[in-house]
């Protein structure tokens, strides 16, 4: 039955558009509100790190120490370039010539040339790569021995 024929018959006309309830009626009736999803129960797992794989420690320590070595070399070169551009080496040469009294004076740039700084930084970085890798593996071995005696480190993991 259409709306026009319903109104002719004296019946009330039903509209298809939904009506919004007022905020007070929605609170009182509970309809129209979106209820939050029930909160899931948080799962917890207590685990113990009983062993650390020495091979994975070796790989990770090597890669991190190589990255640190590259950062060291690049930072030392950038620092040398900044000091050279600011004229610090010339100022040190003037100070040494005033204190020493010799006209020729020592040229500090000859001792601290860019090549010497790069070589020194590279040697230090290679030594750090070797030392950090060896010390990390030794630390993993010592942890494995201590964990077998004591039981390891307890870790609690949660599911958020």
Number of independent structural domains in the chain: 1
Predicted pLDDT of residue 24: 56
* CA gap 64, 67 in Å, rounded: 5
Measured on CA atoms in the order 121, 125, 128, 130, is the torsion positive or negative? negative
**Is residue 127 in a domain?**
yes
Predicted pLDDT of residue 89: 84
Predicted pLDDT of residue 92: 84
Name beta bridge partners: 157: 45
* CA gap 21, 27 in Å, rounded: 10
* CA gap 154, 48 in Å, rounded: 4
**Is residue 90 in a domain?**
yes
pLDDT by residue for the chain (160 residues), tens digit each? 555 555 555 555 555 555 555 555 555 555 668 887 777 788 888 989 899 999 999 999 999 999 999 999 999 999 999 998 998 888 888 888 887 766 556 777 788 889 999 999 999 999 999 999 999 999 999 999 999 999 889 999 888 7
Q: Where are the beta strands (DSSP E) in 6-89?
A: 44-49
Tokens of 3: 């709306």
**Is residue 138 in a domain?**
yes
Predicted pLDDT of residue 40: 74
Contacts of 49 (CB under 8 A, 6+ apart): 147, 152, 153, 155
**Is residue 33 in a domain?**
no
* CA gap 134, 115 in Å, rounded: 29
Predicted pLDDT of residue 34: 83
Name beta bridge partners: 153: 49
What domain range includes position 127? 45-157
* CA gap 141, 39 in Å, rounded: 43
**Is residue 110 in a domain?**
yes
**Is residue 34 in a domain?**
no
């Amino acid at each position: 039955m259409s709306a026009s024929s319903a109104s002719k018959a004296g019946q009330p006309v039903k509209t298809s558009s939904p009506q919004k309830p007022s905020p007070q009626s929605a609170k009182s009736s509970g309809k129209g509100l979106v209820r939050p999803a029930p909160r899931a129960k948080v799962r917890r797992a207590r685990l113990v790190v009983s062993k650390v794989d020495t091979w994975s420690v070796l790989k990770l320590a090597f890669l991190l120490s190589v990255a640190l070595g590259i950062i060291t070399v690049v930072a030392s070169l950038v620092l040398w370039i900044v000091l050279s551009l600011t004229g610090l080496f010339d100022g040190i040469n003037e100070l040494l010539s005033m204190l020493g009294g010799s006209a020729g004076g020592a040229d500090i740039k000859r001792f601290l040339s860019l090549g010497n700084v790069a070589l020194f930084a590279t040697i230090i970085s290679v030594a750090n790569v070797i030392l950090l890798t060896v010390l990390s593996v030794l630390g993993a071995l010592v942890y494995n021995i201590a964990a077998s005696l004591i039981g390891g480190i307890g870790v609690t993991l949660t599911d958020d």
